[in-house]
Amino acid sequence: MHEWALAESVITTVVDEIRLNNIRKVTKVDVMVGELQQIDLEIFRFALENVMKTYELSLESKAIRIAIEKNILRCEVCGKIWSFGDAGCRLGEDEAEAIHFIPEIAHVYIRCPECSSPDFEIVKGRGVWIKTIEGER
Ligand SMILES: [Zn+2]
């Protein structure tokens, strides 16, 4: 159910921003979802639309656009930069499900394709955030 918590935080951010900037009508909200975040986009969109209603936000649901940010990982040992999901490092469904609940577990399953080290930094591809909000005053 963390899609609902994420939707709540996205919508409250939008609400704060439009108050701060005296925006009357929101015309576009670009939401970015990290590829490794593993959220159910259908549930997330549904949650956004419902949370939106409770805040009586003047925003059409089609104004919300969700884009996926591809992941970028950097090996702490050899410095190799790669993307999880590239040829040869796909996850099984069980592993993907485990990462969904405990992102830190990613380090157990994902290893550097160059030196096999499990020590890497997630440079991109995690979290949910708002890239842009556009509106009319
Ligand atoms: Zn490495």
Distance CA 16, CA 136 (A): 15
Residues flanking ion ligand 1, Cβ below 5 Å: 75, 77-78, 80, 112, 114-115, 117
For the full predicted model, state whether its pTM sits above 0.85: no
Give me the chain's average pLDDT, please: 85
CA of 76 to the centre of ligand 1 (A): 7
Q: Which residues contact 27 (CB under 8 A, 6 or more apart)?
A: 63, 134, 135, 136
CA 8 to the chain's CA centroid: 14
State pLDDT tens for residues 31-77.
999 888 878 899 999 999 999 989 877 777 788 999 989 889 999 99
pLDDT bracket for residue 87 (50, 70, 90): very low
CA of 114 to the centre of ligand 1 (A): 5
